[in-house]
A = this chain, B = another copy of it.
């Protein structure tokens, strides 16, 4: 797999883990599950499948310094910086363009910087399978085996069986469905044909550009101009000039939903998008009372509480409480019922409306 590259999309914001995640401290920089930041863990788990010079990172320029400091083994030129946020379709195209300029035979797996994966060898095995299948010209999505009828994820429907690679069954994909309502999600699960869209997929660089060219010709024209300048002194100026012309659009909407030769490999490697405090709760180890204490050197004293997550760097005392998520930062405290963590985004909206930007 000497032409295989990982492209980590590390630009996301996200405030569903407020008050810990903030505008200048998004999820990927937080040590949510393991002791290192989500981004650092995302890099570490790629070894030994990808040598450091085969790992690329695309992110907003504002995060460059933090990301480089967090992954010093990745060559500086592998950090592909967006001059401004243009959503995921342009970000992925830019990353692919830089890699393909340096290795036109590249196969690239698009990865996230802020998801948890429990079974790391299983994850790498799935990436190796996706590489092989991508050689056929397919866009190979990793579909997560669903464990409940979530309305929070997109779904991928599988079609005909294609082959088995490294023990994993590979299927033709019958397409993407956006986040369904509850009855539809229940149907999806009952059918047994659907996986969750993890946002992770592998493709050859020329397969990627075939689809961008076909579906997003204007964007692709700008990307081609930028690609020509990669690794030349003109790059910063050319990037700045063309980047601003590109529309904001997500990769699912711009490319994936109507792409040809889609395949899906259903996987089950303990994936979580850690998209809410309760999702984090589910992936952390609980003590015998169901309690969890996280943070850098947190002190916790508890008297008869249960199923309560404390995330803090300071002293937190819990007495006789159940099913809570308690998060303390320097300037705010969140106390939220475990089943209500989706409402954190409502709080962030209220803070925006009240122009309390110091909390965002």
A299 to B356, CA, bound (A): 11
Contact stretch, chosen from A176-184, A195-203, A339-347: A339-347
Partner of A335, one of B19, B317, B337, B347: B317
**How many chain copies?**
2
Contact stretch, chosen from A86-94, A134-142, A143-151, A324-332: A324-332
Given contacts A303-B343, A343-B303, contact A335 B350 (CB under 8 A): no
Closest B residue by C-beta to A18: B317
A319 on the B face (CB < 8 A): yes
Partner of A336, one of B321, B337, B344, B350: B321
> Could you say which residues of chain B place their CB within 8 Å of the CB of A319?
334-337, 340-341, 343-344, 347
Tell me whether A317 and B303 are in contact (CB under 8 A): no
Partner of A332, one of B317, B324, B335, B336: B317
Given contacts A301-B347, A303-B340, A351-B301, contact A335 B321 (CB under 8 A): yes
A336 to B315, CA, bound (A): 14
A312 on the B face (CB < 8 A): yes
A161 on the B face (CB < 8 A): no
CB proximity of A129 to chain B, nearest CB, Å: 41
Tell me whether A320 and B336 are in contact (CB under 8 A): yes
A168 on the B face (CB < 8 A): no
CB proximity of A294 to chain B, nearest CB, Å: 14
CB proximity of A58 to chain B, nearest CB, Å: 33
A303 to B346, CA, bound (A): 9
A162 on the B face (CB < 8 A): no
Closest B residue by C-beta to A337: B320
Partner of A317, one of B299, B316, B336, B339: B336
Tell me whether A333 and B337 are in contact (CB under 8 A): no
Partner of A314, one of B312, B331, B335, B337: B331
Task: Annotate A281-314 by CB proximity to B: 1 below 8 A, 0 otherwise.
Answer: 0000000000000000001010100000000101
Given contacts A336-B320, A337-B320, contact A331 B315 (CB under 8 A): yes
A328 to B340, CA, bound (A): 22
Which A residues fall within an 8 A CB radius of B?
19, 299, 301, 303, 312, 314-321, 324, 326, 328, 331-337, 339-341, 343-344, 346-347, 350-351, 356, 359
20 A-B pairs (CB sep. < 8 Å):
A301-B350, A312-B333, A314-B331, A315-B333, A315-B359, A316-B332, A316-B335, A317-B333, A317-B347, A318-B335, A319-B335, A319-B340, A319-B343, A319-B347, A320-B340, A321-B336, A321-B337, A324-B335, A326-B333, A335-B335
The 3 closest A-B pairs by CB, nearest first: A320-B340, A320-B337, A315-B332
